[in-house]
Structure 1
Amino acid sequence: MVDYGIKFWSNDDFIIDNGVVKVNYKNKPALIEIVNEVREKGYKGPLLIRFPHLIEKQIEKIFTTFESSIQEYKYKGSFKAVFPLKVNQMPNFVLPLVACSEDKCYGLEAGSKSELIVAMAYTNKGSPITVNGFKDKEMISLGFVAANMGHDITLTIEGLNELETIIEVVKEMGEPYPKIGLRIRLHSTGTGIWAKSGGINSKFGLTSTELLEAIKLLEDSHLLHKFTMIHFHIGSQISDISPLKKAIREVGNIYAELRKMGATSLTCVNIGGGLAVEYTQHEGSNNRNYTLSEFSGDVVFSLKEIVKNKKEPEPDIYIESGRYISANHAVLIAPVLELFSQEYDEKALKLKEKNPPLIAEMLDLYQSMSEKNAIEYLHDSFDHMESLLTLFDLGYIDLQDRSNTEVLVHLIIKKVIKLLKYKNHNDIIRIQEQVQERYLLNCSFFQSLPDYWGLGQNFPVMPLDRLNRRPTRSASLWDITCDSDGEITFDSSKPLFLHDVDVTKEEYFLGFFLVGAYQEVLGMRHNLFTHPTELSVVFDDDLNKGYEIENLLEAQTILDVLDDLDYDTKEIERILKQRIEENQDIDEETKKEVMGQLYIMLSENGYLRTIASSEKN
């Protein structure tokens, strides 16, 4: 059985049992069972499945671990957290997150006016709101409105101009005021592709000189008592713990120095986000080198030691780790539409009574191949193919000969893989680096996996079933966009093997895991493919199945997509109808049929509609 590295990335959220992927919770339903249930209702195309219990699990884990470290080191500050809405603003994620964290000091972080409205509407009473990013007067005024609603809100200042605007709004709106935080531009940076979001040249934060100016401004405006938090961020997906420890030492000293300067209301240190998620499917290519316990322990212990030496009180610790909370709650399910080599079977051979000698030799290679000579014959077939293609270019063989060449090469490849399927995987990798199977998936990578396309971020991918059978095809994955970048190519250093299935007779689904962070909110409408049909799986012991499907929301229809782009859909319908009616080549009955077909298509989503296995043949 091939486990697709599930022990590395799944966090025990999913398991393999009896050849299928199952949700490792309650009655442990199979993902394929959930997918089939939804498809039987008529929902085709890709699916995004949410598991709200995994949101709760991550929140519980991060609070329990930090509180354990606080207890272990007898730390006097408390632990609080906010979820940065930029990571996932979708209501079917945010609302369960808020509901399952009512008993914790867990709030929301906003980086725009729209996000702040969401935070003001849904943050639990008593839980914090933090506001990061660049702000204008209107956004700062909105923070004052939140304070008037009774929210515990902190406006984190990114530049001195924002602080000056706060002072201006204070004069206009009066109390109650929001709390004020200052974002520090540290010298410390993280690691990896997001490291540039930290460090002295980062986009956000105050330098030491600006920090001193900010304190002076607060003093002069009699607002120093509202300065309660310093904030830093050294980058998303911190792979190594060392940069964080360095940053904590730096910010701990800044905290102590600011208090000694008179900022005695400063009681909170916000360590930002960056807590990494393990995406790897392959041993030796880990995305992080620490545990959550090590992460929390280092933060708590380091802050305790620094402020102890400086004889200052231990601050409350805030964290904004969004990826860690949201990534694992969502799975993208993509149906496989086609395997591109499947058109090459023996029925496709159209041999002549007299074939070119090299084709006759290839046929003999195919028919006489054995395990012992498989590799040798494979190499011979590649040589013959190159020679035959050259002969075609020179006009010595015809198109039928070329077709027979291509078919025979694919037949030989398949036979080699079948003969050697129980051999070491490294042998198969060497064979298949040049001969990957291309799997066409009913999804858009630009829409559903934008970090793969834009940043080269890998996501765990595996079939939902057949996991008690060894996969033998080295796989390149193609999406249905008409863009050459819509491909996840085979990588021999991190190989993906899938099954050789006949999708005209049976369905085959791939699951992409850990897609709950950023992918939905960054997804683009390339080719006008939209957010896939989504649903939530909620577990309930009182139900026969042990779970129920909630919040089933079908992907937008074609007309809805065009309307969102500000097309006049009524005009589009009118023009289409007019052009059908003006066509003199079809009769009135046919016009009605065409019109009916067109309206049906306009009311469906833009993904391809595959045929259910029960309907095939």
Structure 2
Amino acid sequence: MVDYGINFWSDNDFIIEDGQVKINYKTKPAIIDIVKKVREEGYRGPLLLRFPHLIKKQVDKIFTHFETSIKQYHYKGQFKAVFPLKVNQFPNFVLPLVELSQNRCYGLEAGSKAELIIAMAYTNKGSPITVNGFKDKEMISLGFIAANMGHEITLTIEGLNELETIIEVAEEMGKPCPNIGLRIRLHSSGIGIWAKSGGINSKFGLTSTELLEGIRLLEKHKLIEKFTMIHFHIGSQISDISPLKKAMREAGNIYAELRKMGAKNLKSVNIGGGLAVEYTQHEGSPNRNYTLDEFAGDVVFSLKEIAKNKKEPEPDIYIESGRYIAASHALLVAPVLELFSQEYDEKALHLKDKNPQLIEELNELYNTVNEKYAIEYLHDSLDHMESLLTLFDLGYIDLQDRSNTEILVHLIIKKVIKILKHKNHSDIIRIQEQVQERYLLNCSFFQSLPDYWGLEQSFPVMPLDRLNKRPTRSASLWDITCDSDGEIGFDLNKPLFLHDVDVTTEEYFLGFFLVGAYQEVLGMRHNLFTHPTELSVEFEEDGTHSVTNLLEAQTILDVLDDLDYDTKEIERRLKQRIEDSELIDDETRKEVLGQLYVMLSENGYLRTITNGERK
């Protein structure tokens, strides 16, 4: 059995039993059974499965570990958190998040006007709202409205011009005024792709000089009592704990110095996001070198020591880790449409009465290969193929000979892999990149896994069943977009092996895990492929589960409408062109028009024919 590194990345959320991936919760249903049930109801193309219980699990884990550290170090400040909406704004994530965290001091973070409206509408009373990013007067006015609604809201200042606008709005709208936070530009930087989120040249935050000017402005306009928070952020996926420790020391000292300057209501340090998610499937290549327990302990201990040394009160701790909360709750399931080497079988082989000598030798190799000589025959077949392809280029063999060459070599490769599948033979491993199978998936990587395409972010991927059978094919994955970048290539350092299946007679599904953070909101409509059909899997107290919030992927007409096409005009023009066409007779015109309307009312993912059924 191959476990696809499930013990590295799943945090025990998913397990393998009876050759299937199962949700490790209550009755432990198999994911493949849920997928097949949904497809039986007529939903096709890729599916996005959400697991609300995993949202609650992640929120509870963060609070539990920080509260444990606070207790361990006798820390006097409180722990609070917000979810940054930029990570996932979809209602079938946000609404369960708000409901499942209402017993915690857990709120929402907004970085735009639209996100702030969501936060104002759904944040639980008593839970915080923070507002980051660049703001104009209208957005700041929204913050004042939120304060009037009774929200505990903090506007984090990214530049002195924003502070001046807050002062202006405060004079116009009066009290209550939202709390004010200052984003500090640390000298400490992060690590990895998002290292530039921190450091002296980072996009956001106030320099030391600007902080001093900000304090002066707040005092001058009698708003210093509303200054309650400092904030920093050093990266979205902090793989190494060392930069965080350094940033905590710097931020803690800034906190203490600002209080000594008269900011006596400054009581909170917001450490931003960055708590890393473990995506790796392969031993020896972890995405982080720390545990949540270590992360929480370092934050609490650092601030306690600085507050003690500076003789200032221990601040409340805020965190904005969104990736850690959202990633695990969503799973993309993509059907495999085709294996590209499946045309290379004996049925496609058409040997002549008299074949070139090298092809006769290939045929002999295929029929006589055995375990003892498997590697030798494999090497011979690859050498023969190179020679035959050269002969084709020189005009000495024809296209049928070339076809027979390709088929025989692939048949030999498959036979050798099957014979040696239980052995980790070094030569087999070495040639995997040459003989990889290409799996065509009914999905768009640009739509559903944009971080793979844009940032080379890897996601755990594995079949949903057949896990009690050893996979033998080194796999590269192709999506259905008309773009060569829509491929997850085979990597010898992080190999993916899948099963040799005949998708014309049986279904084969791959699951991409940990896709709940950023992938949906960054997904693009390349080739006009839309957000997949989504559903939530919810569990009752008795352990039973049900599919809820099922939302089908947009139809072709809906997509065109979103792009501001006049869909009524499109329908009218299509109908008119069918009616005007001299190539369609009167008897079939109505049928053709009906077929067209059916297609327009379906989503754009592929529907293939298997055993007479659409899938």
Could you state the TM-score of these two structures normalised by the residue count of structure 1?
0.98
Number of the residue aligned with 1:15 = 15
Deviations 1:161-199 (Å, cap 9, x if unpaired)?
000110110111110000000000001111111111111
Number of the residue aligned with 2:552 = 554
Q: CA RMSD in A?
A: 1.2
CA shift for structure 1 position 429: 2.0
Deviations 1:580-606 (Å, cap 9, x if unpaired)?
111122221201110010000000000
Matches within 5 A, 1:93-492: 93-424=93-424, 426-492=426-492
Counterpart Cα distance in 1 of 2:613 and 2:90:
35
Give 1:209's aligned amino acid. T
8 Å CA contact 1:44–1:610 kept in 2: the answer is no
CA shift for structure 1 position 365: 1.1
> What SS class does the counterpart of residue 551 from structure 1 fall into?
strand
Counterpart Cα distance in 1 of 2:328 and 2:612:
32
Number of the residue aligned with 1:514 = 514
8 Å CA contact 2:88–2:517 kept in 1: the answer is yes
2:590 maps to 1:592: yes
TM-aligned CA distance change 1:614 to 1:524, over 3 Å = same
Deviations 1:300-356 (Å, cap 9, x if unpaired)?
011000110000000000000000000000000000000000011011111000001
TM-aligned CA distance change 1:27 to 1:425, over 3 Å = farther
Counterpart Cα distance in 2 of 1:34 and 1:323:
26
Counterpart Cα distance in 1 of 2:362 and 2:570:
55
Counterpart Cα distance in 2 of 1:385 and 1:611:
34
Give 2:468's aligned amino acid. N
Number of the residue aligned with 1:67 = 67
CA shift for structure 1 position 431: 2.2
- Tell me which moved more, 121-130 or 390-399: 390-399
Counterpart Cα distance in 2 of 1:426 and 1:299:
46
Could you state the TM-score of these two structures normalised by the residue count of structure 2?
0.99
Number of the residue aligned with 1:38 = 38
> What SS class does the counterpart of residue 11 from structure 1 fall into?
coil
Give 1:435's aligned amino acid. V
CA shift for structure 1 position 425: 6.3
8 Å CA contact 1:507–1:613 kept in 2: the answer is no
2:92 maps to 1:92: yes
> What SS class does the counterpart of residue 182 from structure 2 fall into?
strand
TM-aligned CA distance change 1:307 to 1:425, over 3 Å = farther
> What SS class does the counterpart of residue 194 from structure 1 fall into?
helix
CA shift for structure 1 position 362: 0.8
CA shift for structure 1 position 426: 4.7
Give unmatched runs, 5+ long, in structure 1.
none
**2:581 paired residue among 557, 579, 583:** 583
2:564 maps to 1:566: yes
8 Å CA contact 1:541–1:547 kept in 2: the answer is no
Give 1:88's aligned amino acid. N
8 Å CA contact 2:608–2:614 kept in 1: the answer is no
Counterpart Cα distance in 1 of 2:584 and 2:66:
72
Give 2:2's aligned amino acid. V
- Tell me which moved more, 269-278 or 427-436: 427-436
8 Å CA contact 1:45–1:610 kept in 2: the answer is no
Deviations 1:178-232 (Å, cap 9, x if unpaired)?
0000000001111111111111111100010111010011011110000000000
Counterpart Cα distance in 1 of 2:368 and 2:426:
25
TM-aligned CA distance change 1:408 to 1:149, over 3 Å = same
TM-aligned CA distance change 1:341 to 1:151, over 3 Å = same
Counterpart Cα distance in 1 of 2:590 and 2:493:
56
Counterpart Cα distance in 2 of 1:370 and 1:616:
41
TM-aligned CA distance change 1:425 to 1:187, over 3 Å = farther
CA shift for structure 1 position 611: 4.6
Counterpart Cα distance in 2 of 1:17 and 1:49:
20
Give 1:193's aligned amino acid. I
2:27 maps to 1:27: yes
How many residue pairs are counted as aligned between the two chains? 615
Counterpart Cα distance in 2 of 1:118 and 1:429:
51
Give unmatched runs, 5+ long, in structure 2.
none
> What SS class does the counterpart of residue 484 from structure 1 fall into?
coil
Counterpart Cα distance in 2 of 1:520 and 1:511:
16
- Tell me which moved more, 390-399 or 222-231: 390-399
Q: What's the % identity of the aligned pairs?
A: 82
Give 1:602's aligned amino acid. L
Give 1:199's aligned amino acid. G
8 Å CA contact 2:128–2:151 kept in 1: the answer is yes
Counterpart Cα distance in 2 of 1:256 and 1:509:
55
TM-aligned CA distance change 1:8 to 1:56, over 3 Å = same
CA shift for structure 1 position 609: 1.7
8 Å CA contact 1:506–1:613 kept in 2: the answer is no
Counterpart Cα distance in 2 of 1:272 and 1:510:
34
Deviations 1:398-445 (Å, cap 9, x if unpaired)?
111111011111101101101110101654321211110000000000
Give 2:295's aligned amino acid. F
8 Å CA contact 1:80–1:106 kept in 2: the answer is yes
Give 2:505's aligned amino acid. K
Give 2:390's aligned amino acid. T
CA shift for structure 1 position 616: 8.7
> What SS class does the counterpart of residue 193 from structure 1 fall into?
helix
CA shift for structure 1 position 521: 0.1
Give 1:490's aligned amino acid. F
Deviations 1:59-79 (Å, cap 9, x if unpaired)?
011001100000000000000
CA shift for structure 1 position 382: 1.3
Counterpart Cα distance in 1 of 2:428 and 2:236:
36
- Tell me which moved more, 371-380 or 314-323: 371-380
> What SS class does the counterpart of residue 536 from structure 2 fall into?
strand
Counterpart Cα distance in 2 of 1:171 and 1:351:
89
Counterpart Cα distance in 2 of 1:428 and 1:470:
15
TM-aligned CA distance change 1:425 to 1:440, over 3 Å = farther
Counterpart Cα distance in 2 of 1:332 and 1:141:
39
Counterpart Cα distance in 1 of 2:448 and 2:144:
37
Counterpart Cα distance in 1 of 2:569 and 2:378:
58
8 Å CA contact 2:110–2:129 kept in 1: the answer is yes
TM-aligned CA distance change 1:322 to 1:574, over 3 Å = same
> What SS class does the counterpart of residue 109 from structure 1 fall into?
strand
> What SS class does the counterpart of residue 193 from structure 2 fall into?
coil
8 Å CA contact 1:198–1:234 kept in 2: the answer is yes
8 Å CA contact 2:375–2:427 kept in 1: the answer is no
Give 2:421's aligned amino acid. K
